[in-house]
Structure 1
């Protein structure tokens, strides 16, 4: 009986590393999903309304979920809808039983689970490809982390001057400013910016403390993921 059932399974496994046609088709699906996800994630009208770190990070999450969808599609294509229900069950378990710190971590958690599922289904070639593709995306995305900087307790009446000073230092450090929110009544400024790959938070913090004049300097609070 087991022999008859075994003959019905797809002819895959470690020999699948030589299945170049399938590898090319799967890679094309991952690239297409990533590209189409980016088209939506980086819609021009969305960039105009970004004013928090979570909103600035959202395009990365959307692209990762597009990649997750492509991986699920490839699995279902190979094994049918039964595996689709298994994936649905895993998604529900992670949604209600896993405490992820952010949507970014949730997308990575789902991706890692799918990679494990692919390996368990004896699709090692696709598991390696999906891992490499996800690793490359994470390297590109997290090489320029999005930071939220709150400058408060600015000397009274000096918010505008402080804004110019802090913005100039961030520019000198090659940080890409995403949004700036000045609150004159609270003597506070909120910045959301993207840090360059070669610069650390400690370096930016030190530059802000040293280069901004004490006459307009405030207290700094960071939020970085």
Structure 2
């Protein structure tokens, strides 16, 4: 047993909703973690080295992990290092026994586990607050999906013209270009871009097929998470 009969975990419960100072401090801690995580995640030099969709998605994951770190810090601050070892054990279990499809899914898995832990530790006010912060971040991040577009079999000697044509169509569709790669020897171009909130892969694909001139058009292959 971690605790003796005389040494019990503190109980805060729903009374925490009435403690405005405590809630404000917790909210400021989460906001600070998100802000500091964003400073590192969106560093200008990092953006210049993005070549793949995974690299484009990494800043979102870093900010989510910053939020996770702040949540863990708040728990440990209130309940001590014993809970820290519990969280460490849960993290190890998820690391070796859970098959998440991506780092984004892994971060959400860790976060929802922590939310359940917070609720179980009788900190409902902090659980609700952390959930609200997480939902806001997910809404912001997932509202503009990142796509990786690969165009193959471009007519020989037309790679430069084809790249310009595809880039112009993406701009007309209000997509934000993150990176562009041209492979003249393979007659292939690659784009990583952020799409508008109301767009879908089907509408983007149809627009590219219709608006890119046939003489510079290639075969489109998509990668999206």
Q: TM-score range by the shorter chain?
A: over 0.9
1:100 is aligned to 2:100: yes
Match of 2:155 in 1: 155
Q: What pairs with 1:1-225 in structure 2 (closer than 5 Å)?
A: 5=5, 8-225=8-225
- Over aligned residues, Cα RMSD in angstroms? 1.3
- Count of residue correspondences: 222
- Cα gap change, 1:7/1:98 in structure 2, threshold over 3 Å: closer, same or farther? closer
With the length of structure 2 as denominator, give the TM-score of the two structures.
0.96
Query: Where in structure 1 are there 5+ consecutive unaligned residues?
Result: none
Shift of 1:7: 8.5
Inter-partner Cα distance in structure 1 for 2:160 and 2:58: 29
Displacement after TM superposition at 1:179 (Å): 0.5
Q: Matched residue of 2:215: which SS?
A: coil
What are the superposed Cα offsets for residues 177-203 of structure 1, whole Å, 9 maximum, x if unpaired? 011100011110010000011222111
What runs of 5+ residues in structure 2 fail to find an aligned partner?
none
1:158–1:37 distance in 2 versus 1, CA, 3 Å: same
**Ranges of 4+ aligned residues in structure 1 off by more than 3 Å:** 4-9
For normalisation by structure 1, the TM-score amounts to: 0.96
CA contact (8 A) 2:11 2:122 kept: no
The alpha-carbon deviation at position 52 of structure 1 amounts to: 0.7
TM-superposed deviation, 1:105: 0.6
